[in-house]
Amino acid sequence: MLQLQRRSLFTLYLAYFTDYFSWGAAIAFIAVYISSDHTPFANLFWDPQISLGIAIAAFPVGEVIGSPILGDLSDWIGRKKVLIWGLWGSIASMALCAFSLWLGSFFLFTTCQLLVGFFSGKQAMAQAAIVEIHAGSKGQKLAFLSVLGGAAWISGPFLGGLLMEEPFLSYGGYIWPSLLACGVYVLSLLFTQFFFTDTYQPPHSSISTTKFLRSVGDIFVLTWKEGLFFLFLLNLLGWYLLAVSLSDYLIVKFHLTEKQIGFFNSYLSLCFTLGGVIGTVWILHRWKAKNILFWALLGGSLGLFLLFGADKVAELWTYLAIPAFTEAWIYPAYQTVLSDHTSEKNQGKLFGLIGATNGACQFAASIILAGISSQFSILVAALLFLSSAVVVPLLIRKKIRKRFSLGHPQNRMS
């Protein structure tokens, strides 16, 4: 039994890693596909800058749509079916993406980005299945996802970048990163087919389009009732504001070169990965998730305030590490607390909503950055972290009082 659980857990971790790796290997280079001298798109519908914005926005929009749908669907028909279908969808959409780059069709390419984002919503189901496996604590298992995400952010762009150089560039142009992503998805599909044992028992009630759409709508009702989710959204928006504004911030304030900027972005990912390791083996093993949220949020906001006021490049090493380490603990801690407050039949819904929130916050952060300076964006990020830190103890204390007043051992959303 333990061996089956370990195989299933490894398979789910591989599926999660694959989505992030594919994003880093293929989708992270959208600006190069559109703006470089070797662009395959001879004819764009709009100005290159507008076209770039539309192409970048397509993925998170697809993720916002796909995450709640696939997550909720897995509650109805089971985790394994949705994961396998989602992997087939990812393989097909990445193959189409490679074909669009070879063909030079910007319309097809943008459509493919939307589809890739939609099928990345299967992460919601994978995370729901991870928390349902009894091996290890929920907090530790979710914290390990930070390790996988960080490793994918480092390895994906590195390998994708190698495939965009000679001799690959002369044989197919920019198609190779997308084909690499296809290959990794195929590997994940094989592992899922043969090694993942689905322990979730879906309800035996029949599913109809009306029931399913009503169920998806219930996700947002759950969010409205769960005040803690709003704080999670504030924190996530703050983190993505840091991610999207860092490069421009380093250019404008410190006049760094492209190579130096790439190094600091990799350093941020490395710190996030190391933070995930510490969270897995110590922080979320030693303390309950709800008990670390306040201090981690407060520490992250402090690091962002210091980064906002930094005037020396040497200070960046410390000021970037603080929010990266703490976010690697905050994200799984929020997921753990929210999962604990959610009934077993709604875990897919919850993680679907978390996936949709990721896409929405990426999109919102890009819109905010278009209207304010990168330095001010980091200040806004610090204020969002701080706001979440101030309110989270009050909400958790309120839930505890409500639980005892109702006489329930565990207060759950249903």
CB atoms inside a 10 Å sphere around CB 225? 11
pLDDT at 97: 95
* Distance between CA atoms of residues 342 and 89, nearest Å: 29
Structural domain ending residue among the three candidates 143, 178, 207: 207
**Is 253 found in the same domain as 196?**
no
- Mean pLDDT score of the chain: 86
pLDDT at 215: 61
* Distance between CA atoms of residues 411 and 414, nearest Å: 10
Give the domain CATH number at 281. 1.20.1250.20
Does residue 150 carry a pLDDT above 90? Answer: no
Choose the most confident range, by mean pLDDT, from 187-191, 362-366, 374-378. 187-191
Structural domain ending residue among the three candidates 207, 240, 264: 207
Q: Is the pTM of this model over 0.85?
A: no
* Distance between CA atoms of residues 58 and 46, nearest Å: 15
* Distance between CA atoms of residues 25 and 309, nearest Å: 33
Choose the most confident range, by mean pLDDT, from 156-160, 171-175, 254-258, 314-318. 314-318
DSSP 29: G
pLDDT at 135: 73
Instruction: Considering only residues 84 and 41, tell me which one the structure prediction assigns the higher pLDDT.
Output: 84
Confidence class for position 223, pLDDT limits 50, 70, 90:
low
* Tokens 């030693």 belong to residue: 286
Helix spans in 133-226 (H) = 138-162, 176-195, 209-225
- Using an 8 Å Cβ cutoff, are 96 and 104 in contact? no
Helix spans in 255-288 (H) = 258-278, 284-286
pLDDT at 239: 95
Token representation of residue 364:
């919102």
pLDDT in tens, 281-303: 889 888 888 889 999 999 999 99
**Is 193 found in the same domain as 221?**
no
pLDDT in tens, 311-344: 999 999 999 999 999 999 999 999 998 888 777 7
Does residue 240 carry a pLDDT above 90? Answer: yes
- Using an 8 Å Cβ cutoff, are 119 and 90 in contact? yes
- Using an 8 Å Cβ cutoff, are 280 and 144 in contact? yes
Token representation of residue 350:
């919850």
**Is 202 found in the same domain as 295?**
no
pLDDT at 44: 74
**Is 132 found in the same domain as 219?**
no
Structural domain ending residue among the three candidates 145, 178, 207: 207
pLDDT at 53: 76
Instruction: Considering only residues 141 and 347, tell me which one the structure prediction assigns the higher pLDDT.
Output: 141
pLDDT at 342: 79
pLDDT at 296: 96
- Mean pLDDT value across residues 118-134: 89
The letter for the amino acid at 32 is: V
3-state secondary structure of 413: strand
pLDDT in tens, 355-374: 888 888 988 887 888 788 88
* Distance between CA atoms of residues 196 and 334, nearest Å: 26
pLDDT at 172: 85
The tally of domains found in the chain comes to 2
* Distance between CA atoms of residues 176 and 159, nearest Å: 10
**Is 177 found in the same domain as 217?**
no
**Is 305 found in the same domain as 163?**
no
**Is 271 found in the same domain as 168?**
no
Helix spans in 46-137 (H) = 48-77, 79-103, 106-119, 122-132
Residue 104 domain boundaries: 1-207
**Is 300 found in the same domain as 152?**
no
pLDDT at 404: 43
Confidence class for position 409, pLDDT limits 50, 70, 90:
very low
**Is 40 found in the same domain as 150?**
yes
CB atoms inside a 10 Å sphere around CB 134? 11
pLDDT at 115: 96
Choose the most confident range, by mean pLDDT, from 41-55, 366-380, 397-411. 366-380
- Mean pLDDT value across residues 77-99: 95
Of the candidates 184, 5, 166, the residue with the CA atom closest to the CA atom of residue 94 = 184
**Is 246 found in the same domain as 145?**
no
Name the β-bridge partners of 413: 342
Confidence class for position 207, pLDDT limits 50, 70, 90:
low
Confidence class for position 413, pLDDT limits 50, 70, 90:
very low
**Is 187 found in the same domain as 272?**
no
**Is 238 found in the same domain as 182?**
no
